[in-house]
Amino acid sequence: MSDDGRSRVQVSLRIRPVGRGDLKNCKVVVQKSDECDVIIDDEKIKRSYRFDHVFGGGQEEVFETIGKPMLEDAYKGFNVCLFAYGQTGSGKTYSLLGEVGSEECEGVAPRFVRCLFEEAQRMVDEDADLTIRVSLTMIEVYMEKVRDLLTPRQRGQEPESLEIHEDPRRRVYVKGASVHQVLSAERMMELLRAGNANRQTAETKMNETSSRSHAIMQITLSQEFASVEKKDLECVVSLVDLAGSERQTKTESTGQQFEEAKKINLSLLMLGRALNSFSERKGGDAFISLRESKLTRLLSESFGGNSKTWMLATVSPTAFNLTETISTLDYATNAMAITNKAKVNKSSKDLEYSDLVKLRAYLDDSISRETGLIETYDREAAELRADITSLRRELLALNDSKMESELQDALAERNALISALVNKLSFAAGDDRERVPLVCFCGTCKTTLGGIPLGSYEVDTLVVPFYDLVGPPPLLQCNLHVQLTAEEEVMVVVELVELHHLPDFASEGVRVSIWFDGQEGSRVSTPIVPSNGGNPKLNFKQVYVLGPITERLQQFLSTDSLYLQVEGITSTVMNSLDVDETGSQCLS
């Protein structure tokens, strides 16, 4: 990696041995010439290619060359990605996962997982302040639909199709994909095997268990230290098993398999165009939108983004597959020209600590203002007491009853002023003052109700925008009901369930406000709900009756008309001069 954080995609090639599926007496035309070179020696085509590594050995060599550097970079805090690409039946899934029950034939993934937990145990034993957490998400892209591979599936029922979203920092994630906390290498392998068993596969002329989907395994590695001086690190390890490219004339696929093959080849084509676009050697021929396919959008960080990326290209050695082999070699050559800008993922603790420093400075300023007011009131009270003493002396020296009456009236007026100032002084000193919430962050999200059929409801999880927050943003979980009353009027029920990922510095909890766009009178707020370890339970329900169904009401509901504002509460302060119009003391 260079000094400016740029690192090239590392590309390795693996040539599959001649197997039972190859034609008898078919000529071997693809051979390894040395550690990094491969040559094509055919009657019509003679070419040579150079990569970072060309494998001629077993599974251990692949892991030592690719898996170990990935593991080292992951523990340094870099996002890392390995994706396997090649013709169907060329050995991608074998290289990545290997054979179940054979330690010698284990692929990169099981070896990586075992070493990941061994290193975690070693580091925790050496540093008592360190806590390491590992979680797994596993998805597939099948027929341009994103599906969770670790969710139990009902026989005969189509798995749920999930949506791809971006968080406030423009990082891509799959909404609704399950996240599994993992405590051991054995449990991780159980999940990987279960997810791989749920993948769409089918038998073709080229491969008995041809993968019909792209599988993406994402392992999140988090290192947290009890000491503020040490930096927390978090990274994502992505292991991608791409479906194999195939030609219908060879696989002889028909019907559903033919439709699957078209989708597979289309997504690989869009990925290839994206590689060309990112390639420095190509100079960025044309802009390719990563939204053209689900696969390119999910892999957007792996090419030109914040990741260290490895590509393992697999090919067949025989002349029968020479066309597909050349296509794979050209594909891999383009990937070598892509440069990423990987960086160590920032510590969320560092940003939380900086926020606390800002909060402390604000509170110090508030205390200074209050102290100045108290000193001012003390001086005014002392001056008034001195005036009263002087007037009393003058009153004793006067015999005129009228003057005495006037002085008594003046004395009463002075006493009233002193009483008022004493009240102010007590107010500033902290006696019987009303406490109001101190809001440490405020984020507003909005949603639409137009997509909810009458008489049904939607469970929605809304991202609460929070400027400059590292780590998962606060997520507001709510149930939205839309139904008709007995009088045929539209009734909306907003049920606030729970808030996830509340920042630690919101120590006193959270408050949520709801209102409709342009209808300030519809605004209601929950009481302050305790933080509950970062996941406060809201248990709040609000009912709105909007009137009969009209075209104008339907148009209103189809826009982002429902607003939800989340306020984090850090503590309470005394009601003073700096209170805003809502009655909440807000941080700048």
Q: Which three-class secondary structure state does DSSP give residue 294?
A: helix
Beta bridge partners of 240: 83, 216
293 is in an annotated binding site: no
547 is in an annotated binding site: no
Contacts 24+ apart (CB under 8 A), 549-558: 549/484, 549/488, 549/490, 553/490, 554/450, 557/448, 557/449, 557/450, 557/482, 557/490, 558/448, 558/449, 558/450
21 is in an annotated binding site: no
Exposure string over 363-392, b if 16+ CB within 10 A, otherwise e: eeebeeebeebbeebeeebeebeeeeeeee
What is the Cα 366 distance to its own chain's centre?
Answer: 36
Q: In this structure, are residues 53 and 65 in contact, taking their beta carbons and an 8 Å threshold?
A: yes
Q: Which whole-number Å values give the CA distances from 229 to 98, 173, 353, 357, 483, in the listed order?
A: 42, 31, 10, 15, 54
93 is in an annotated binding site: yes
450 is in an annotated binding site: no
**CA 140, 144, 146: angle at the middle one, nearest 5?**
35
Length of the chain measured in residues: 588
**Per-residue DSSP letters for 41-68?**
E-SS-EEEEE-SEEE-S-HHHHIIIIIH
304 is in an annotated binding site: no
**Per-residue DSSP letters for 90-143?**
SSHHHHHHB-TT-STTB-HHHHHHHHHHHHHHHHHHH-TTEEEEEEEEEEEEET
89 is in an annotated binding site: yes
In whole angstroms, give the CA distance from residue 351 to residue 447: 29
In whole angstroms, give the CA distance from residue 546 to residue 519: 11
Other Cβ atoms within 10 Å of 313 Cβ, number? 27
161 is in an annotated binding site: no
Q: In this structure, are residues 567 and 442 in contact, taking their beta carbons and an 8 Å threshold?
A: yes
Whole-angstrom Cα Rg for the chain: 34
Other Cβ atoms within 10 Å of 337 Cβ, number? 17
In whole angstroms, give the CA distance from residue 217 to residue 179: 11
Binding residues are 86-93
Binding residues for ATP are 86-93
